[in-house]
Amino acid sequence: MNNDTFKYSYKSQFRENLSLTVYNTGIEQCENGFVCGPRVRDHFLVHYILSGKGTYTYGDNTYELAKGDLFIIYPSEVTIYKADDELPWEYCWVGFNGTEAEKLLRCTDLTPENPVLHYDRDGKMRDHLFKIYKSQGNQLQNESRMTGYLYLFLSFLMEISTKQQDRDISGISYIEAAVKYVQHNFSRDIDVCDIAQNIGVSRSHLYRLFIKHLGMPPNEYLSRFRINQACSLLRHSDLSIGEIANSVGFLDQLYFSRVFKKFKGTPPSKYNRR
């Protein structure tokens, strides 16, 4: 190895069945013609090329890669990657796995059929990976920090994904955010203005999105969700009707009873007995 060649890396000592965990991370300036593989891994491995060039062979395809390219290796797949003979690449990488890893990756543009993407608009891709690397260590706080930065890195891949852009154009991402906000906050005194403000759209635009995708205005969705939660409490708890009303975001028990009867055809007192 010559003086210009270096490799800094980290490997985790712990591999519990976590939702997401970093297996290894590092930075390497490869030697001329350096080859890794053929080999199989038990985790996902992402490389981002900082300089130079090389090739990545996955299945029947070989990709010519250079600065700004990112490639992913999937578990249990045979791969080979090779630094250029004259201008070898320098890259940083992160290896990870977990019960959520595959689901999160499906929200990015990376797939087994398309394991390469290019990003060189700014230094954000490099910075995300460097933060994971700089948090390395085998203490619990290091593991937690690396995992946190890994989530941020994957969220960045989602952010730049064409899938996300398509979802933003159609408004589906706003609907999902609105529904999640309702699910997490229905027990509080929230209204349609709070939902719209939280997801960053106007009240009128939120109305149009709900009509288009859910077939009802957002205030009806919020009320229906609250009443359905109330039905569950009526069936499975010993709370009074007033306590249930407060638990699902209604400050006025009489108003709660009117809304309940509107959607269920019977007042909550009779629904409870039934």
Distance, CA of 146 to CA of 136 (rounded, Å): 7
User: Which stretch, 46-50, 136-140, 157-161, 175-179, has highest mean pLDDT?
Assistant: 46-50
- For a pLDDT cut of 70, what percent of the chain falls above it? 90
Burial of 7 (0-12, 13-18, 19+ CB in 10 A): exposed
* Sheet (strand 69-73) strand order: 6-11, 21-29, 90-97, 44-51, 69-73, 116-118
Q: For residue 129, report the phi and psi dihedrals to the nearest 5 degrees.
A: -70, -35
pLDDT per residue as tens digits for the range 180-206: 999 999 999 999 999 999 988 899 999
pLDDT band at 1 (very low <50, low <70, confident <90, very high): very low
Provide the CATH topology of domain 6-164. Answer: Jelly Rolls (2.60.120)
Q: Which residue has the higher pLDDT, 48 or 107?
A: 48
pLDDT per residue as tens digits for the range 217-226: 999 999 999 9
What separation in angstroms does the CA of 89 have from each of 13, 23, 27? 28, 22, 11
> Residue 149 above 50 pLDDT?
yes
Give the pLDDT of residue 19.
Answer: 85
Write down how long the chain is: 274
Classify domain 171-273 by CATH number: 1.10.10.60
pLDDT per residue as tens digits for the range 8-27: 766 665 554 468 999 999 99
> Residue 236 above 90 pLDDT?
no
- Structure-token pair, residue 169: 């154009």
Distance, CA of 259 to CA of 128 (rounded, Å): 48
- Structure-token pair, residue 273: 């007995």
- Structure-token pair, residue 243: 């306590």
Residue 93 has a CB neighbour count (10 Å cut-off) of 20
Q: In the chain, what's the furthest Cα-to-Cα distance?
A: 83
pLDDT per residue as tens digits for the range 33-88: 999 989 999 999 999 999 999 999 998 999 999 999 999 999 999 999 999 999 99
Q: For residue 167, report the phi and psi dihedrals to the nearest 5 degrees.
A: -70, -40
List, in order, residues 6 or more apart from 35 with CB less than 8 Å away. 80, 81, 82, 83
Q: For residue 54, report the phi and psi dihedrals to the nearest 5 degrees.
A: 180, -170
List, in order, residues 6 or more apart from 230 with CB less than 8 Å away. 244, 245, 247, 248, 256, 260, 268
Contact status, residue 72 vs residue 115, Cβ threshold 8 Å: yes
Selection from 157, 163, 9, 170 nearest residue 95 by Cα: 9
> Residue 4 above 80 pLDDT?
no
- Range(s) of the chain covered by CATH 2.60.120.280: 6-164
pLDDT per residue as tens digits for the range 111-127: 999 999 999 999 999 99
| Preceding amide of 38 cis, omega within 30 | yes
CA 124 from chain centre, in angstroms, equals 17
- Range(s) of the chain covered by CATH 1.10.10.60: 171-273
